[in-house]
Amino acid sequence: MAALKAANGEYDHDNALTGSDLMDLVDGELLPYVKGLKLRAKSPDIIEYKIGEIFSEIKNKIQSGYLLRDALEKVDELRFRSQEEKHYLSHLYEVKIKNMSNAGRNESE
C-alpha cells in the first residue's frame, strides 16, 4: 500500500498511503518490525540479525507523510542496473558515510 502503482506503472495516488497514514505505517509498523529482526534472528551471523542491527539505530526524521510520499516516489524512480549506475550509487554511499564520520568528529572537538 505504501508505494501502490496502477497496472500502467503510474502511482495510484487515490489508494497509496500518504500523510499520517503513511507515517503510522512507517513509524508504527515498518521500523519496529525491521528493528526486531535482530531479536528474532537465530544467530548474529545471518542477514536478518545484521539488518536489525543497522535499523536499530535508524530514526525517521521525516515528519510529514506527504514529504515522505514524495521521497519514496523519487527513490522508486532510481535505476541502478548498469555498472556505471552501480558505481555512482557506491560513490554516493561512500561520500555519505565519510560526511557522517566527519560530522561525528566535529561535534566532539
Q: pLDDT, tens digit, for every residue of 29-44?
A: 999 999 999 999 999 9
Residue-range domain boundaries for the chain: 1-77, 80-109
For residue 59, give the nearest of 93, 34, 77, 37 by alpha carbon: 34
Q: Hey, which residues does 5 pair with through a beta bridge? A: 11
**46-101 confidence digits (pLDDT tens):** 999 999 998 888 889 999 999 998 888 888 887 878 888 888 888 888 888 887 77
Inter-residue contact 37 to 44 (CB < 8 Å): no
The predicted model scores a pTM of 0.64
Arithmetic mean of pLDDT, 8-28: 84
d(CA 70, CA 6): 17
- pLDDT for res 29: 95
**Cβ-proximal residues to 43 (8 Å cutoff; 6+ apart), any chain:** 49
Rounded-to-10 torsion of CA 49, 55, 53, 41: -20
d(CA 65, CA 74): 14
Look at residue 11 and give its three-state secondary structure. Answer: strand
- pLDDT for res 23: 94
- pLDDT for res 106: 54
Q: How many CB atoms within 10 Å of residue 99? A: 10
